[in-house]
Amino acid sequence: MTDKPFKTTSAAGIQEDSLPFKLFQKAKRFGVWNPADLDFTQDKKDWETFSEQQKEGTLRLISQFQGGEEAVTRDLLPLIMTISNEGRLEEEMFLTTFLFEEAKHTEFFRIVLNELGIYRDLTEYHSDTYRKIFNDILPSSMERLVHDQSPEAVAEAATVYNMFVEGVLAETGYYGFFRSLQHINAMPALLEGVGNLKRDESRHIAYGTFLLQRIISEHHHIYDLVIKKMEELTPLAIQINQEGMEDDSEEEKRNTMNFTQKQLSTRMQILGRSRDKRLEEIYKQREDEVGMEEADAVK
């Protein structure tokens, strides 16, 4: 058994000005919303007025989020164990909130389906591309950490999990929810929950960005590996978008693809800047410097 020294009783204490610890504080303040408290009365009324096409489009999004949230809940533990074994206490403290929130997101989408009376198998909405990502690429990259905690392995896991699944696919999914429901003023509880999820995930992406910045700062060659991995994943993001936009107008398709490309570009720009940052600067960044939205980064 590894003899791990106690940090909080040492002279070092907790690194309270570090970004991971600040994210932990944010999670305590903003991450404790309860999906079971949402009132779906109006959502059920709205659902009954939807056309079959609207129902199909909404169910596709919900089913993909439901499976995705279950996957990221299920697959996160190896990263937490890796960070814990490295003795990075502040990061581990934040990651405890990370896992709690992913489990809560899984609960949220199941509550939505229950409230709408949807109990049939929804895996029909999971395409081959979707299954390749969530049944192959994501679990493989995370499970690798069980036997390989190298900088390359951790960077691959963070790239797939945080940069791609959360930073590109999930963000595009939120965009889809708001685009399809907000402008018709429908399903307020679903949208409120999705808004809460988006705020939670903003912290998760911020941590993943920090994690990759930290690794790139210490091992400069990792940046090229991250770029290569994102280039491999980008066609899958485009493909999964196309599969879900068959009934959309050309303008809607174009707007969604532009949004996805913007997310990809933003993540890479932030990581690119880390090559010129010292490790101390990376630890002491503000939340907005790692891409958190202004509303989420307010102290």
For residue 204, tell me if it sits in a domain: yes
CATH assignment at residue 226: 1.10.620.20
Q: Judge whether 234 lies within some domain.
A: yes
Number of neighbours of residue 101 by Cβ within 10 angstroms: 25
Integer Cα distance of 214 and 27 in angstroms: 21
Give the pLDDT band of residue 298 (cuts 50, 70, 90): very low
Rounded Cα gap, residues 15 and 17, in angstroms: 6
* Within a domain: 299: no
Within a domain: 12: no
Place of tokens 């079971």: 36
Task: For residues 242 and 238, give the distance between their C-alpha atoms in angstroms, rounded to a whole number.
Answer: 6
The domain tally of the chain equals 1
14 secondary structure, DSSP code:
-
Q: What is the pLDDT, as a whole number, of residue 47?
A: 98
pLDDT at residue 265, rounded to an integer? 81
Residue 14 neighbours by CB under 8 Å, 6+ apart: 7, 8, 21, 89, 90
Work out the pLDDT band at 293, boundaries 50, 70, 90: low
Q: Terminus-to-terminus CA distance in the chain, angstroms?
A: 40
A 10 A CB-CB count for 49 gives: 9
Average pLDDT, the chain: 90
Task: Indicate if the pLDDT at residue 263 is higher than 70.
Answer: yes
**Residue 103 has what pLDDT?**
97
Distance of alpha carbon 91 from alpha carbon 162, whole angstroms:
15
Domain hosting residue 53, numbered range? 19-27+34-288
Q: What pLDDT digit, counting tens, does each position of 148-206 carry? A: 999 999 999 999 999 999 988 998 888 888 888 988 999 999 999 999 999 999 999 99
Q: What is the dihedral of CA 189, 194, 200, 204, to 10 degrees?
A: 160
Q: How far apart are CA 173 and CA 178, in angstroms?
A: 9
Residue 54 counted as domain residue: yes
Residue 11 lies in a domain: no
The residue type found at 97 is T
> What is the structure's pLDDT at 295?
43
pLDDT in tens, 74-103: 999 999 999 999 999 999 999 999 999 999
For residue 17, give every residue at least 6 positions away whose Cβ sits within 8 Å of its Cβ, in sequence order, or none: 283, 284
Residue 4 lies in a domain: no
The amino acid that residue 12 corresponds to is A
pLDDT at 286 over 80: yes
Contact (Cβ atoms closer than 8 angstroms) between residue 186 and residue 163: no
* pLDDT tops 90 at residue 44: yes
Q: 203-260: per-residue pLDDT in tens?
A: 999 999 999 999 998 998 999 999 999 999 989 988 988 886 666 677 777 877 788 7
Residue 116 covered by a domain: yes
